[in-house]
Amino acid sequence: MSKLVMLDTNILFKFILIQEKVDIKESIPKDLKSCHQLMDKFYNRDFLNCTSDWNLLELRDVVYKYKLEKQLLLSGYHPTEFRNAQKNIKLKKEDMKSIEELINHFRTYSIRYTAPINTNYIDSLSVNNISMKDAMLLYEAQETPHCEAFITKDNILINKIKKLPFEFALPVYSIKGFLNAIPHPSNG
């Protein structure tokens, strides 16, 4: 049986960026190589991803912002002008539809579970300098039945979890750490 893990939203977003590069036949930047390996294993179902509604809501928000900022740049706006430019430029219906298609795509490749919110536990993570969004995802991973780990590209988050005054219930891996931890086809 494949390992069940929760991928941080930043990894799912990197999958989108990698796929964009693949689609236009551009090389994958060096700092995305390990994420590309993880993406291959994700689509080969070498492990299973569990996702929560919070994970997908955050992903939708990140993709929306990315597409809007890309549109603003292509329209000649400088990043310092984005705030005012958003009054003039909105995403088109087809852009919004493509965002929903991306979210549904990840739903297809993931097991969905959203635990009832325990604000006390989320607060215990946030008072230890973990953002509310990260705290929500960590809590969801911990509460998802049979979830064995949380995977993130955020090394600062990994270090914060190591310094918690209590033990977090799941292992938290970097991408490379997780790639080393999952079985490879040659060794089982």
Q: Which residues contact 47 (CB under 8 A, 6 or more apart)?
A: 2, 3, 4, 5, 41, 182
Please determine, for residue 187, whether its predicted confidence score (pLDDT) is greater than 80: no
pLDDT in tens, 63-113: 999 998 888 888 888 888 887 787 778 888 998 999 999 999 999 889 999
Please determine, for residue 5, whether its predicted confidence score (pLDDT) is greater than 60: yes
Measure Cα distances from 49 to 1, 44, 108, 127, 153 in Å. 13, 12, 10, 28, 15
The alpha carbon of residue 115 and the mean position of all alpha carbons in its chain are separated, in whole angstroms, by 18
Question: What is the second-level CATH architecture of the domain 3-162+172-181?
Answer: 3-Layer(aba) Sandwich (3.40)
Q: Is the pTM of this model over 0.85?
A: yes
Q: What are phi and psi of 184, to 5 degrees?
A: -95, 150
Residue 2 CA to residue 49 CA, distance in Å, equals: 10
The pLDDT value recorded for residue 61 is: 93
Domain boundaries, the chain: 3-162+172-181
